[in-house]
Amino acid sequence: MRKAEQAVARAFTEHLRIKATSLGSLFQACPLDGGDRNVLADYLISDHDNFSLIEFKSTQSEIKTEAKKQRVHSLCAALESNPSMRDLHDLCHFIAWKDRSSKQVTVNVYRHEVCNQATLGNTCVVALTAGGAREFTGTFGQGFCRPPPRRSITFAEFKVYLDWLLLVTTQGTVTNLAFATHSITTDTVTLAEFASLDAGYNWLQTHRPRAAYQP
């Protein structure tokens, strides 16, 4: 993950943590490190019950670099032929970047920005340019943190989507998502790494802070 993308990711995750605190919700940002290439996302984000994936780019123009990844072409084609997975994707798989004019972090559904010929070229089955409703982070955070969730899905739904996503992008060679997370109290910072979504979910259930942490 490049330095400019890290700045976008940090701004986004810090904002959502503050938004969650203001709404009495929880927020966990989990970097995917090496697992990012398999799920086309840099972070898994969660309120300990619901989950989403998010890819970060430094600018909108950088979104076109996704065209270099064969996994992206495979995902876009698979989404077109599977409406049920497309519905889950639209609720939990996003991409964010810094808006050139406003300098604000902007978010959209991943396929709305990526799965079109303007981004992937003429081989893409979707001829349209980028679509969907772009949001600044504040609006996205409201939908993510305030129930009922509109920018995330339940663990059971997310597991279905993740299993399907990994099947599409790795042809079944990878079946688990490894990620890291942490628990923060006034006295300790505990880091934890997991080899699977199930292991991470179980840890999150037993590490619920009594109140949302605000740095």
Q: What is the pLDDT of residues 152-175, one digit of tens each?
A: 999 999 999 999 999 999 998 999
Only one residue has tokens 């409703």, namely 133
Q: Determine the pLDDT at residue 159.
A: 97
DSSP of 81-104, one letter per residue?
Answer: T-HHHHHHHHHHEEEEEE-TTT--
Average pLDDT over residues 5-25: 93
Q: Determine the pLDDT at residue 210.
A: 64
The CA distance from 187 to 108, in Å, is: 37
- Res. 214: pLDDT tops 70: no
Q: How confident is the model at residue 212 (pLDDT cuts 50, 70, 90)?
A: very low
Contact 12, 96 (CB under 8 A): yes
| CA torsion through residues 121, 36, 139, 83, sign | positive
